[in-house]
Amino acid sequence: MKGHWRYRGASVLGTAVLSFLAVVVVNGPLVRTLLDAVPVIQTLATAPATGSELLFEASTTTAVILAAMVPLYKPRPRRILDTWMAAARRTTLAFLSLATIGYFDYTYRLPRATLLVSGGLLLVVLPLWFVAIRRRPARTGERTIIIGDDPETIRDILAAVDGAVIGYVSPPTAYATGDQPTTVRPRETDGGTVTDEIGELSYLGGLSRLGEVLVDYDVDTAVLAFDRPDRAEFFGALDTCYEHGVAAKVHRDHADVVLTDGTAGGELVDVDLEPWDWQDHLVKRVFDLAFAAIGLAVLSPAIAVIAVAIKLEDSGPIFYSQDRTATFGDTFTIYKFRSMVPNAEKQSGVKLSEEDKGERDPRVTRLGRVLRQTHLDEVPQLWSILVGDMSVVGPRPERPKLDDDIENSVSEWRRRWFVKPGLTGLAQINDLTGHEPGQKFRYDMAYIRKQSFWFDIQIVIRQIWKVLSDVSETATGSNDPSEK
């Protein structure tokens, strides 16, 4: 793991030095002479900076670029093209940020010639630097450990690893009876306690010590061997591996519920899950907060009217709550304006509403039908967005029971759990519901692959237009399922 810290130091120091030097070089006499010969640059050029002015320009540029490059400081194994594109993208973001800062606050504005030329220079130099110092993807077997909770899966993986395996990490209650390494897992069965041998592997510690194990043993590759790779333990282990720059792999036979690139040869494949950069997460969360807060404020009169109307209709509860599946298989409580008769699911069981496919559902009340057609029943979910259980855009969360049922026909359904569930998504703006799980899944996976802040904005705009259209149709009576 010493190499990891060397990489971190080299990446930060190299970024700082190259950024500072780029501004100094651009303001130097040699470059200025060359720039004067370019007509386009001449129209942008100002007198070269010197002294404190040059120090300010170089320091400002360096600080912004250092902040923009934060995701690349983690020593993750990267291929050349991936490294180049990531560095170029972050450099572009940095200079767009500098331009934006200068637009709103002239005191921090860099001369346009400096911004343009140093940006072009660093778009070449910084990617080259990160390619030169990048961690190469490790060959499985170079310092490999297995992380998991299932002996059978561990044995499958052990047979597939090309080279020596240092040991395994697993829940101590499942594998070890104490602090000493062991090669057996006690397991309770109906007939008593039996044991499962795991070859000659050394027990390195529990999942809570995974970070320490990765550091202590200077691990290059971790192969995940969980019986159910769709729960918090799996994703927690995956997150720790990414945080420490360790390549994560799964056995091809156990990869049906994780995102893999599917291109690697052999039995082990790379987990293809690169989380959003922290800046992207921050922008998305700020947008979620603003959208939910503004939505609740603007719709507060409508919320009050709907609450009174529901109470007057049948004296039942105003809100209806459900458990829904959250990120990584956890659950959270979702709230909606009640649109069905009280205790509807106690009478008919957990099932999808027939109105989701344009038919009449006898459980839906008269007012509830209007709320559903205008999407106003979903308004209380803005609170779930505000507290962080949901996002504005993401795969729509289902009830755990329905998730289990859908998985019988769509075996990879749990892949949707890699991102936070949303109020709307790519499937919703294309009029797909849980009655078409296969098509809905394909749209959800397309969103996960393409997700970005601007993609979210496009989806939100389309959803708002769709809601306004449905409200208009309901007001004119053309959206009544009884007439279809």
Nearest of 133, 141, 175 to residue 158 by alpha carbon: 141
Length of the chain as a residue count: 484
Query: What is the pLDDT at residue 58?
Result: 86
- Is beta strand 221-225 parallel, antiparallel or unpaired with respect to 144-148? parallel
Please state which CATH class domain 144-270 belongs to: alpha beta
Helix (H) / strand (E) element for 248: namely strand 247-251
The strand pairing partners of 271, in sequence order, are 260
What does the alpha-carbon distance between residue 334 and residue 341 come to, in Å, rounded to a whole number? 18
What does the alpha-carbon distance between residue 19 and residue 57 come to, in Å, rounded to a whole number? 11
Domain chopping of the chain, boundaries: 2-133, 144-270, 278-483
Query: What is the pLDDT at residue 68?
Result: 87
Q: Is 55 helix (H, G, I), strand (E, B) or coil?
A: helix
Q: Are residues 204 and 212 in contact, defined by beta-carbon separation less than 8 angstroms?
A: no
Question: Which token pair is 297?
Answer: 């404020």
Query: What is the pLDDT at residue 33?
Result: 61
> What's the maximum distance between 2 C-alpha atoms anywhere in the chain?
88
From residue 288, give the alpha-carbon distance in Å to each of 193, 293, 294, 334, 453.
50, 8, 10, 16, 11
Query: What is the pLDDT at residue 401?
Result: 81
- Is beta strand 247-251 parallel, antiparallel or unpaired with respect to 268-270? antiparallel
Per-residue pLDDT of the chain (484 residues; tens, 9 = 90+): 555 678 888 999 999 999 999 888 887 776 556 555 555 454 445 566 677 878 888 888 899 899 888 888 877 666 677 788 888 888 888 888 888 776 666 555 667 777 777 888 899 999 999 988 876 654 444 688 888 887 777 877 787 787 778 888 887 644 444 444 444 444 433 333 333 446 567 888 888 888 888 877 878 888 888 876 556 677 778 778 877 778 888 877 665 555 554 444 567 777 765 545 566 777 888 899 999 999 999 999 999 999 999 999 888 899 988 889 887 778 899 999 998 888 766 665 665 655 555 567 778 888 988 888 888 999 999 999 999 999 999 998 888 888 777 777 776 677 777 788 999 998 888 887 767 788 888 888 888 777 778 889 999 999 999 888 888 888 877 665 554 4
From residue 44, give the alpha-carbon distance in Å to each of 34, 36, 48, 116, 201.
14, 10, 12, 9, 66
Query: What is the pLDDT at residue 259?
Result: 55
Question: Which token pair is 126?
Answer: 């910084």
